[in-house]
Amino acid sequence: MLDAIATSGGQYRGIAIVDGSFTEKDYAALHEGGIRGVRFNFVSHLGGMPDMNVFNHVLQRIQPLGWHLVVHLDAADIVELTGLLRALSLPFVIDHMGRVNAGAGLEQGPFRALLELMKVGNCWVKVCGAERVSAAGSPFVDAIPFAQALVNAAPDRVLWGTDWPHPNVGRHMPNDGDLVDLVPLIVPDEALRRKLLVHNPASLYGWG
């Protein structure tokens, strides 16, 4: 990843997975290399709850660098972790629309909790992972109302991506073209779509 960033001519940024062994020098080198955040997995199939001592130690290390936190969690975790997330002072990004199940509808508890979190000024959400959210399968259009609700809740704090090459994808291996085709359906307005795809990531990742 660092090599890809180095050869991009400043066009790429990265998110790292780190542990408690990383030193201040290590973080400085990562920052110089284009890293702008760390990711922690809370999902059960990737080990569940991380070591919270390591979690808190890492957050203390990255905050002076202006980095953000990416949180990958299961829908069932959103309510349980709301207090922890609300207490964070640095920007945090919830991955894959919180991995909610579209089949459970917009009024399901985890999604309502996610929308409430979006009222917190440092909470961001990636409106990606339609293939993970969808209950119907390709072309994943049942995920669209969830993405639209998140974009409408905080248009300045949403991001998008395809999640290529789709690790641990589960039931539906997506065609990336299908995922791209969802974007104008999620955000028909061109100015708002430009926020999602250009201005918001530029702000969060520190471009220009």
Among all residues, which ones are annotated catalytic?
163
Sort 142 into a burial class: Cβ within 10 Å, 0-12 / 13-18 / 19+: middle
Single-letter code of the amino acid located at 41: N
Backbone angles phi, psi at 17, to 5 degrees: -105, 120
Whether the Cβ atoms of residue 96 and residue 126 lie closer than 8 Å to each other: yes
The full length of the chain comes to 208
> What would the two tokens of residue 60 be?
């203390």
Whether the Cβ atoms of residue 73 and residue 114 lie closer than 8 Å to each other: no
As a whole number of angstroms, the distance between CA 134 and CA 54 comes to 33
Whether the Cβ atoms of residue 92 and residue 122 lie closer than 8 Å to each other: yes
Backbone angles phi, psi at 68, to 5 degrees: -125, 170
